[in-house]
Amino acid sequence: MARRSDDARAKKCIGILQPVYLPWIGYFEQIDYVDHFVFQDDVQYTKNDWRNRNRICTKAGPTWLIVPVKRDGLHTRLHESRIDYGRNWARKQILTISQAYASSPFVAPVIAMLQEAFEAQPERLTDLTIPLIERLSSHLSIASTFSRASDVPRAPDADLTARLLEIAQANDATDLYLGAKGVAYVDTGFLAQNGVSVTFQDFVHPEYSQNGPEFHSHMSILDYIASVGPAGVRHWLDSLPKFGAHG
Protein backbone atom coordinates (compact mmCIF):
# COMPACT_ATOMS: atom_id res chain seq x y z
CA MET A 1 0.00 0.00 0.00
CA ALA A 2 1.50 3.30 -1.11
CA ARG A 3 1.97 5.89 1.58
CA ARG A 4 3.98 9.10 1.69
CA SER A 5 7.50 9.65 0.36
CA ASP A 6 10.67 9.67 2.46
CA ASP A 7 11.19 13.38 1.67
CA ALA A 8 7.97 14.25 3.46
CA ARG A 9 8.57 12.30 6.65
CA ALA A 10 9.80 15.42 8.47
CA LYS A 11 6.33 16.87 7.90
CA LYS A 12 3.07 15.68 9.41
CA CYS A 13 -0.35 16.10 7.91
CA ILE A 14 -3.55 15.68 9.90
CA GLY A 15 -7.21 15.68 8.98
CA ILE A 16 -9.91 17.12 11.22
CA LEU A 17 -13.57 16.22 10.74
CA GLN A 18 -16.65 15.73 12.87
CA PRO A 19 -17.39 12.04 13.42
CA VAL A 20 -20.20 10.79 11.18
CA TYR A 21 -22.33 7.67 11.32
CA LEU A 22 -21.05 5.23 8.66
CA PRO A 23 -19.56 8.03 6.49
CA TRP A 24 -19.37 8.34 2.72
CA ILE A 25 -16.28 7.38 0.75
CA GLY A 26 -14.91 10.93 0.64
CA TYR A 27 -14.54 10.84 4.42
CA PHE A 28 -12.30 7.79 4.15
CA GLU A 29 -10.28 9.44 1.37
CA GLN A 30 -9.45 12.19 3.87
CA ILE A 31 -8.42 9.65 6.50
CA ASP A 32 -6.24 7.75 4.03
CA TYR A 33 -4.55 10.93 2.76
CA VAL A 34 -3.18 12.02 6.15
CA ASP A 35 -0.71 10.73 8.73
CA HIS A 36 -3.13 11.25 11.61
CA PHE A 37 -6.86 11.93 11.81
CA VAL A 38 -8.61 13.90 14.55
CA PHE A 39 -12.30 13.45 15.24
CA GLN A 40 -13.73 16.91 15.91
CA ASP A 41 -16.07 15.69 18.63
CA ASP A 42 -16.10 18.84 20.79
CA VAL A 43 -18.40 20.97 18.61
CA GLN A 44 -22.11 21.54 19.18
CA TYR A 45 -24.36 18.67 18.15
CA THR A 46 -26.57 19.54 15.16
CA LYS A 47 -29.91 17.91 14.43
CA ASN A 48 -30.86 16.48 11.03
CA ASP A 49 -27.21 16.19 10.06
CA TRP A 50 -24.78 13.38 9.27
CA ARG A 51 -23.61 12.90 12.85
CA ASN A 52 -26.23 10.22 13.58
CA ARG A 53 -27.42 9.09 10.15
CA ASN A 54 -26.42 8.10 6.66
CA ARG A 55 -27.86 6.48 3.55
CA ILE A 56 -27.48 3.21 1.72
CA CYS A 57 -28.83 2.31 -1.69
CA THR A 58 -31.59 -0.30 -1.94
CA LYS A 59 -33.32 -1.55 -5.08
CA ALA A 60 -36.03 1.02 -4.37
CA GLY A 61 -33.47 3.83 -4.03
CA PRO A 62 -31.61 5.47 -1.13
CA THR A 63 -32.85 4.85 2.41
CA TRP A 64 -31.77 6.30 5.75
CA LEU A 65 -29.98 4.52 8.59
CA ILE A 66 -30.59 6.62 11.70
CA VAL A 67 -29.30 6.37 15.26
CA PRO A 68 -31.86 8.12 17.51
CA VAL A 69 -30.38 10.53 20.05
CA LYS A 70 -31.85 11.91 23.25
CA ARG A 71 -32.96 15.53 23.45
CA ASP A 72 -30.33 16.91 25.82
CA GLY A 73 -30.61 20.61 24.98
CA LEU A 74 -29.50 23.03 22.28
CA HIS A 75 -25.93 23.46 23.57
CA THR A 76 -25.05 19.78 23.87
CA ARG A 77 -21.57 19.00 22.55
CA LEU A 78 -21.26 16.19 20.05
CA HIS A 79 -19.24 14.02 22.44
CA GLU A 80 -21.98 14.51 25.06
CA SER A 81 -24.88 13.42 22.84
CA ARG A 82 -26.56 10.24 24.09
CA ILE A 83 -28.13 7.43 22.10
CA ASP A 84 -31.83 6.65 22.57
CA TYR A 85 -32.26 2.88 22.82
CA GLY A 86 -36.00 3.18 23.45
CA ARG A 87 -36.79 2.05 19.91
CA ASN A 88 -35.72 -1.20 18.30
CA TRP A 89 -33.78 0.59 15.58
CA ALA A 90 -30.59 -1.50 15.70
CA ARG A 91 -32.25 -4.78 14.70
CA LYS A 92 -34.16 -2.99 11.93
CA GLN A 93 -30.94 -1.50 10.56
CA ILE A 94 -29.24 -4.88 10.40
CA LEU A 95 -32.28 -6.26 8.58
CA THR A 96 -32.34 -3.33 6.15
CA ILE A 97 -28.64 -3.69 5.31
CA SER A 98 -28.91 -7.48 4.99
CA GLN A 99 -31.84 -7.21 2.60
CA ALA A 100 -30.34 -4.36 0.56
CA TYR A 101 -27.09 -6.24 -0.07
CA ALA A 102 -28.31 -9.83 0.06
CA SER A 103 -26.46 -10.65 -3.17
CA SER A 104 -23.16 -9.10 -2.08
CA PRO A 105 -20.40 -11.42 -0.78
CA PHE A 106 -18.69 -8.49 0.99
CA VAL A 107 -21.19 -7.32 3.60
CA ALA A 108 -21.01 -10.11 6.20
CA PRO A 109 -17.89 -8.70 7.97
CA VAL A 110 -19.45 -5.23 8.07
CA ILE A 111 -22.72 -6.55 9.48
CA ALA A 112 -20.70 -8.40 12.14
CA MET A 113 -19.00 -5.10 13.08
CA LEU A 114 -22.35 -3.38 13.40
CA GLN A 115 -23.91 -6.17 15.43
CA GLU A 116 -21.00 -6.13 17.87
CA ALA A 117 -21.18 -2.34 18.17
CA PHE A 118 -24.95 -2.36 18.72
CA GLU A 119 -24.80 -5.15 21.31
CA ALA A 120 -22.32 -3.09 23.38
CA GLN A 121 -24.93 -0.30 23.58
CA PRO A 122 -22.53 2.62 24.18
CA GLU A 123 -24.20 5.54 25.93
CA ARG A 124 -22.61 8.29 23.82
CA LEU A 125 -23.13 8.70 20.09
CA THR A 126 -19.42 9.25 19.47
CA ASP A 127 -18.62 6.01 21.29
CA LEU A 128 -20.57 4.28 18.54
CA THR A 129 -19.59 6.30 15.49
CA ILE A 130 -15.86 6.75 16.15
CA PRO A 131 -15.00 3.09 16.84
CA LEU A 132 -17.01 2.09 13.77
CA ILE A 133 -15.01 4.50 11.59
CA GLU A 134 -11.77 3.15 13.06
CA ARG A 135 -12.82 -0.45 12.41
CA LEU A 136 -13.95 0.31 8.87
CA SER A 137 -10.64 2.08 8.24
CA SER A 138 -8.78 -1.03 9.38
CA HIS A 139 -11.07 -3.14 7.16
CA LEU A 140 -9.92 -0.97 4.23
CA SER A 141 -6.22 -1.26 5.22
CA ILE A 142 -5.95 2.44 6.05
CA ALA A 143 -2.81 3.06 8.09
CA SER A 144 -3.60 6.48 9.61
CA THR A 145 -3.81 6.88 13.39
CA PHE A 146 -6.64 8.55 15.32
CA SER A 147 -7.42 10.80 18.26
CA ARG A 148 -10.22 13.06 19.51
CA ALA A 149 -10.33 16.85 19.63
CA SER A 150 -12.03 16.70 23.03
CA ASP A 151 -8.67 15.56 24.45
CA VAL A 152 -7.03 18.85 23.36
CA PRO A 153 -7.44 21.83 25.75
CA ARG A 154 -9.42 24.70 24.25
CA ALA A 155 -8.97 28.43 24.90
CA PRO A 156 -12.30 30.02 25.88
CA ASP A 157 -12.06 32.64 23.12
CA ALA A 158 -10.82 30.33 20.33
CA ASP A 159 -12.73 30.76 17.07
CA LEU A 160 -12.95 28.04 14.41
CA THR A 161 -9.53 28.72 12.89
CA ALA A 162 -7.82 29.19 16.25
CA ARG A 163 -9.27 25.87 17.34
CA LEU A 164 -7.84 24.17 14.26
CA LEU A 165 -4.44 25.64 15.17
CA GLU A 166 -4.74 24.31 18.72
CA ILE A 167 -5.47 20.83 17.40
CA ALA A 168 -2.69 21.04 14.83
CA GLN A 169 -0.11 22.16 17.39
CA ALA A 170 -1.21 19.50 19.89
CA ASN A 171 -0.52 16.89 17.20
CA ASP A 172 2.76 18.43 15.92
CA ALA A 173 1.15 18.95 12.51
CA THR A 174 2.76 21.04 9.77
CA ASP A 175 -0.16 20.52 7.37
CA LEU A 176 -3.93 20.25 7.52
CA TYR A 177 -6.13 18.44 5.01
CA LEU A 178 -9.67 19.79 5.34
CA GLY A 179 -13.02 19.30 3.67
CA ALA A 180 -13.90 21.45 0.67
CA LYS A 181 -16.46 23.51 2.64
CA GLY A 182 -13.68 24.72 4.93
CA VAL A 183 -12.51 27.19 2.28
CA ALA A 184 -15.47 29.40 3.28
CA TYR A 185 -14.53 29.78 6.95
CA VAL A 186 -10.90 28.80 7.56
CA ASP A 187 -8.36 31.63 7.76
CA THR A 188 -5.49 29.98 5.91
CA GLY A 189 -3.33 33.12 6.27
CA PHE A 190 -3.54 32.95 10.06
CA LEU A 191 -2.62 29.28 10.02
CA ALA A 192 0.27 29.88 7.62
CA GLN A 193 1.63 32.62 9.91
CA ASN A 194 1.69 29.98 12.64
CA GLY A 195 3.50 27.39 10.54
CA VAL A 196 0.56 25.30 9.36
CA SER A 197 -0.26 24.86 5.67
CA VAL A 198 -3.76 23.94 4.50
CA THR A 199 -4.98 21.84 1.59
CA PHE A 200 -8.69 21.54 0.88
CA GLN A 201 -10.17 18.33 -0.44
CA ASP A 202 -10.91 18.35 -4.18
CA PHE A 203 -12.86 15.14 -4.50
CA VAL A 204 -14.17 13.42 -7.61
CA HIS A 205 -16.78 10.81 -6.69
CA PRO A 206 -16.27 7.48 -8.46
CA GLU A 207 -19.15 5.62 -10.06
CA TYR A 208 -19.57 1.88 -9.56
CA SER A 209 -22.14 -0.86 -10.03
CA GLN A 210 -24.93 -0.25 -7.55
CA ASN A 211 -28.44 -1.37 -6.62
CA GLY A 212 -31.04 -0.09 -9.05
CA PRO A 213 -30.82 1.43 -12.55
CA GLU A 214 -29.70 4.91 -11.43
CA PHE A 215 -26.40 5.72 -9.70
CA HIS A 216 -26.67 7.58 -6.39
CA SER A 217 -23.53 9.27 -5.09
CA HIS A 218 -22.61 10.12 -1.48
CA MET A 219 -23.98 6.92 -0.01
CA SER A 220 -22.43 5.41 3.12
CA ILE A 221 -19.14 3.57 2.68
CA LEU A 222 -21.21 0.42 3.23
CA ASP A 223 -22.59 0.83 -0.28
CA TYR A 224 -19.15 1.02 -1.89
CA ILE A 225 -17.85 -1.94 0.11
CA ALA A 226 -20.93 -4.00 -0.80
CA SER A 227 -20.40 -3.19 -4.47
CA VAL A 228 -16.64 -3.67 -4.95
CA GLY A 229 -15.39 -5.24 -1.70
CA PRO A 230 -12.69 -3.90 0.64
CA ALA A 231 -9.96 -4.78 -1.86
CA GLY A 232 -11.75 -2.78 -4.53
CA VAL A 233 -12.05 0.23 -2.24
CA ARG A 234 -8.38 -0.13 -1.31
CA HIS A 235 -7.45 -0.20 -5.01
CA TRP A 236 -9.38 3.03 -5.54
CA LEU A 237 -7.72 4.69 -2.54
CA ASP A 238 -4.28 3.68 -3.83
CA SER A 239 -5.03 5.45 -7.12
CA LEU A 240 -5.47 8.79 -5.33
CA PRO A 241 -2.80 11.29 -4.20
CA LYS A 242 -1.30 10.94 -0.72
CA PHE A 243 0.34 13.59 1.44
CA GLY A 244 3.96 14.08 0.34
CA ALA A 245 3.59 12.19 -2.93
CA HIS A 246 3.70 15.45 -4.85
CA GLY A 247 7.04 16.33 -3.29
88 φ, ψ (degrees, to nearest 5): -85, 55
Per-residue model confidence (pLDDT) at position 74 = 66
In three-state secondary structure terms, 117 is: helix
Say how many C-beta atoms besides its own lie within 10 A of residue 46's C-beta. 13
Sign of dihedral through CA atoms 64, 65, 69, 75?
Answer: negative
Q: What is the pLDDT along the chain (247 residues), one digit of tens a residue?
A: 344 444 444 799 999 999 999 999 999 999 999 999 999 999 999 888 999 999 999 988 999 999 999 988 767 899 999 999 988 899 999 999 999 999 999 999 999 999 999 999 999 999 999 999 999 999 999 999 999 999 999 999 999 999 999 999 999 999 999 999 999 999 999 999 999 999 999 999 999 999 878 899 999 999 999 999 999 999 999 999 888 754 3
* CB contact at 8 A, 33 and 3: no
Alpha-carbon gap, residue 41 to 130, rounded angstroms: 9
The Cα–Cα gap between 100 and 223 comes to 9
In this predicted structure, what is the pLDDT of residue 213? 82
B/e letters for 73-89, b = 16+ CB within 10 Å, e = fewer, are eeebebbbbbbeeeeeb
Rounded CA separation 108/182 (Å): 36
